[in-house]
Structure 1
Amino acid sequence: MLVSLCIIAMNEQDTIAGLIRSVAEQTVLSEGYDFEFVVVSNGCTDNTAQVAQAALEESFGETSVRIRVHDTPDAGKSRSWNLAVHSILDAATDIIVFMDADIELIDANVIRDLVWKLANEERLSAVSGWPVKDIAKKSSKSLIDRFSLKISSQTPAPHSINGSLYAGRAKELRKAWLPVPTPGEDGFLSAMLHTEGFSQAAQFERIQRFDRPTHYFEAHSISGFFHHEQRMTIGTTVNGWLCEKFWAEEHVRHIGPVIRDFNENDPQWVNNVVASKVAGKTWALPPRLLTWRLHNLRNAGFMKAAARVPFSILATLLNIWPCIQANRALKRQGSASIW
């Protein structure tokens, strides 16, 4: 079995070497699989490609792992994902493991366990990693740290891909093309995998989050939190509008080739979808995005709901400003390309 390890990176010269070195310590490399390790450096204005090449050669140069850095001037994670899946990665690969350059793997068995689960459970199209904020490692946590971790624990996504780390069955990923640009590409990819490209009713069990934490990511500063929430709100909104579009068209086959043709023939097609949804509206966001952090109170039982209420209400209040900013951004021309 051939496993392709892939990092899509933009301006990650300070973190990518550390991740590459930690991948070299993963036990999966001794499991008898064949490997390629590809870094797609996209739209970088720093030395990400050069740092990645040096780290790959240092860590894998004397192994059987095939290494490569593909440096493209075209920015955008969805664009680079399409390029990797359909043009760069070996056509014979069986499983693709995507990683963000700025994560920290929790232990040496993470990639082995993701690959094993996907290889041995045929019903799965993808296995997502379980991200944990790096502040969880702190021995002494501030009130803000504890609040941040509590909110994260209340918003699980057991049947969705987390784009920072996941393993996907290559034959399923190759059916898909991501819209360019896609704000929140992992959400749209999850929807395509659930529904066989919007041609079938959703089968959420096709994606499973791994049953233990797999990697750390850097917790946002207060200002970073608001910016991140704005981006996530935009991504969720645009993905929802794209899903509505494709469901309304009643496709009987996977829409991957349709999206490929849109990307090639009409670079503004995503922006045009956004423009059609915001035209003439003061408030364009779905109202549920203002209250979604309260949804975890449903069916939680009285005691659990009572414990969650203070955190959920405060998180909802903090979410109002990012929603206002996201609404403004979506009403501006070309806002879909914010990602």
Structure 2
Amino acid sequence: MVVTRQATSSRDANEPTIRLDIGIFAYNESQSIGLLIESLGQQTIFGSMVEDIRVRILANGCTDDTVAVATKAIAALPAAIKDCFTVHDFELGGKSRTANRFIHELSDQGADILGFMDADIALPQNDTLERMLGALDEGPELMVFNSRPVKDVSFSKRSVGPIGKIIASGGGGLTDYRKSICGQLYFIKRTMADKISFPIGLPVEDGFMRAMVVTDLFSQEEDLSRLDGDFEIFHVYESITTIRALIKHQTRLIVGSSINAIIFEELNRVADSGQSISVFLKDISENEEWLQSFLSEQLPRWPYGYVPFRIGAKRIRMFRASEQRSMRTFFVLLAGIGLDLISTINANFVMWRGRGAGHW
């Protein structure tokens, strides 16, 4: 099912035109998608600085009522706003597959900026999207602007029990969201996004996208000035509250980082050969079996197996480079090393079973 609607404009014809197309990635999000759409209807970006704004609900492989709930929530929006929304219902799931469709098939080719948003986040401030768009538009060298991720435990003091509190207090302390890409909510300039296609089944799209952006598809050394964020611009997401869920999450990150590392080696080889990486990515993104076949050819490797040592030791390197070192972050580091050890063993097992690509 695809419901298509025409966007409207309430801006002065003499104001600068910015066209924005937002994709909301939803997999079995019937419990959250309605609330997100309702909050989007309160965003100041509508009728403000955007000539043409489109919001696409990308329901991919859903087996619940995500599409029905989203359609009902859109119908309840003011007329001028709901006309900006489109609902897409795709039989096949997978964020990488859906991201390719959003960038290259569904989004308005005249859009200046594309927005990537998860369906299970909350936007407490009604000017979040407008401020993100303004910041990205005003930075000529900037390619991506991130929203700062805030855990619901910290924002709303949700009761999660002692284990949940320990987990919530320990995460994210060494990560600079301004120089990463938070897949939950970020904006990217169309000129950059158009170059990128994702291998189908990629477990961690954020890290892949980041590498493409900061190196301009491996055509230059890393340039972190192409990414940014603002502490005052944020979204809220649901915190992990159980050890089992935490290990699963960390395993996915390690698997994804390991797979990305192998792919990046191949992309460097392609770049050295003089081929266009953009064309190469487009070609492999159209082959559903490419990633699994490529991993089978490349892994395992001696002496580490499936997960390179540098990925398992990433937390230690981040701690040594961080300016936020303290007794708290040191104890978080010790706990994190134990988590990484368990998750690395688990990641090797998952990849040994051939379930790294597409499993998540």
Taking structure 2 as the reference length, the TM-score comes to 0.87
**Letter in structure 1 aligned against 2:192:** E
Deviations 1:252-300 (A, max 9, x none): 5652221121232x42221122223323657321112333222233255
Change in CA separation of 1:26 and 1:254 when aligned onto 2, cut-off 3 Å? farther
Corresponding residue number in structure 2 for 1:255: 277
Residue among 209, 213, 218 paired with 1:198: 218
Residue among 24, 29, 40 paired with 1:12: 29
Query: Structure 2 regions of 5+ residues with no counterpart?
Result: 1-17
Q: Distance in 1 between matches of 2:108 and 2:94?
A: 21
1:37 positional shift? 1.3
> 8 Å contact 2:148–2:177 — kept in the other structure?
no
Residue among 71, 79, 85 paired with 1:53: 71
Identity of aligned residues (%): 27
Please give the residue correspondences for 1:211-222 in structure 2 after superposition, counting only pairs within 5 Å.
211-212=231-232, 214-222=234-242
**Letter in structure 2 aligned against 1:225:** L
Query: Structure 1 regions of 5+ residues with no counterpart?
Result: none
Residue among 313, 317, 336 paired with 1:315: 336
Change in CA separation of 1:213 and 1:295 when aligned onto 2, cut-off 3 Å? farther
1:147 positional shift? 5.0
**Letter in structure 2 aligned against 1:96:** L
Taking structure 1 as the reference length, the TM-score comes to 0.92
1:60 positional shift? 4.5
Q: Distance in 2 between matches of 1:68 and 1:296?
A: 41
Corresponding residue number in structure 2 for 1:279: 300
Residue among 191, 205, 209 paired with 1:189: 209
Corresponding residue number in structure 2 for 1:338: 359
> 8 Å contact 2:173–2:329 — kept in the other structure?
no
Corresponding residue number in structure 2 for 1:73: 91
Q: Distance in 2 between matches of 1:270 and 1:250?
A: 19
**Letter in structure 2 aligned against 1:111:** L
Please give the residue correspondences for 1:1-339 in structure 2 after superposition, counting only pairs within 5 Å.
1-33=18-50, 34-63=52-81, 65-136=83-154, 137-138=156-157, 144=163, 145-146=165-166, 148-212=168-232, 214-222=234-242, 223-251=244-272, 252=274, 254-264=276-286, 266-279=287-300, 283-300=305-322, 304-339=325-360
1:20 positional shift? 0.7
Q: Distance in 2 between matches of 1:216 and 1:322?
A: 26
> 8 Å contact 2:167–2:240 — kept in the other structure?
no
Deviations 1:237-263 (A, max 9, x none): 111111111112225565222112123
1:51 positional shift? 1.3
- RMSD of aligned Cα (Å): 2.2
Matched length: 337
